[in-house]
Structure 1
Amino acid sequence: MDKDQAIRKTQKLMAVAMDGRGNGNEAERALIQAEALIRKFGIEQAEIASTVAAKDFDWADAFHAYGSPKNPAKSCPKWFQVVSTGVANFTDTIVRLHYDAAHGYGVGFYGDRADTLFAQWLAGYLKGSVWSALILTRKDHPEWGRIESEDFRKAMAGRLSFRMMELRRERDVEFATAASTQGVGTALILVTDKLTQRNVEFGTPKYRSSRIEVRDQMAARKGSLAGDQVGFSKPLSAGDGNLGIREQ
């Protein structure tokens, strides 16, 4: 590994360590590895923040099928689209509805490989969380039918998406604060540069904002409360094996 390679590796490790989205142990390991490279190769702060060295992103896309391999989905419900858009914003990826002949309808995430893997895993995790919460809640409400169940899912999806948006904003504020108070803008520069290059590679994301309408307020309230109980920690090994990655 030469110094230029070490700089690019350090940039990616620093992004993981300072991202704030992932597993705490993973972030700590990334920071330790980054510091070791900095000492070994004599890397300066300015070199880490260099936008020239930061251009080596590993672009990829990851598809998450809404249905199971044995039962491919014939459509992608609105509530899962809401969740997936929140996931995309949270993971610095772009999401688009996608159809695969073998796996049916689902969503595709586009961006840096590590981000798309995280997004693919998180979409499946949150989809499962919504269904699990609904099953648990319906034990107390056997009278619920299709309308109540759908209102629960839509409200929970909306709450999850809102929480991910807030976490993303908190991360950006922390990066901006670090840059102004400590003179260290590495993470902010990396994220901004990554998003700019991502949009050049895949196109600027265009999402329609739509109001979530519900008919049963009690079911919606319970769905929203259930959305507050879900965590967003990244596992040590992301990806749920739903479908592979297609390299760009």
Structure 2
Amino acid sequence: MDQDFHDAVVSIIDQYMRDNIHTSAPAKVGNVSENFTAELTPDLKVTTDDDREVPYPKISGTAILMPTGAGGTIGFAFPVHSGDGCVAIFGEGGSGTDLKWDLSNATLLPGLPASSSEQVKRAGSEDAAVVFAPTATITVKKDCIELKKQDTTITLKDSSVFVQRGGSNIEVTDGSTKITTPLLDVTGNTEIKGNIQVQGNVNISGTLVLGGIVMNTHTHAGVHGKTGGPQ
């Protein structure tokens, strides 16, 4: 085969592939419908024959990829907003067509931020999976799971559960439960099986029964006759 002819054919094929076969590209999300489809604009430009750079057109009705299974009944969903960064993926088929790697045959993979957020940096530095929203985080590490909502933190470890809010906390281990709080207010019937140790005063406004004896009105015999009831 003549080398010039070979080079010309290769050049034509190469140009055709570059102009007509699309795989993936960074993009921006446009209008979003029901958090299911969206308009997107690939961050790409086409150079015309007269050397003008023309932006790629907007693509409408693009399916948003979400991690779900079990027929969509189990998964993880998050909001996709106009202006978010994403990746446009151009595949084959879809929507009853036989388009292959065409611009109009795109799906949208959200989650291409312009810069690394603090939570993304934290996930890397702490070797953790982090689910985050403006005032809440769930952090999953090898040795613990932490749920945090503003000033409330719940930490789960293999050997303990720790709940903290302000100056109050509850720590549960295999052998004990420790509550530290300025005031513990219990409403309802309370049944305790075991010994009780009290350091401090005890005030009872109702009836005190010990061993079946009502201590509020109990009397006993004294050297000068029965004593009066408790004062």
Q: Which has the higher strand share?
A: 2
Could you state the TM-score of these two structures normalised by the residue count of structure 2?
Answer: 0.20
| Larger RCO, structures 1/2 (Cα 8 Å, 6+ apart) | 1
Q: Which has the higher helix share?
A: 1
Could you state the TM-score of these two structures normalised by the residue count of structure 1?
Answer: 0.19
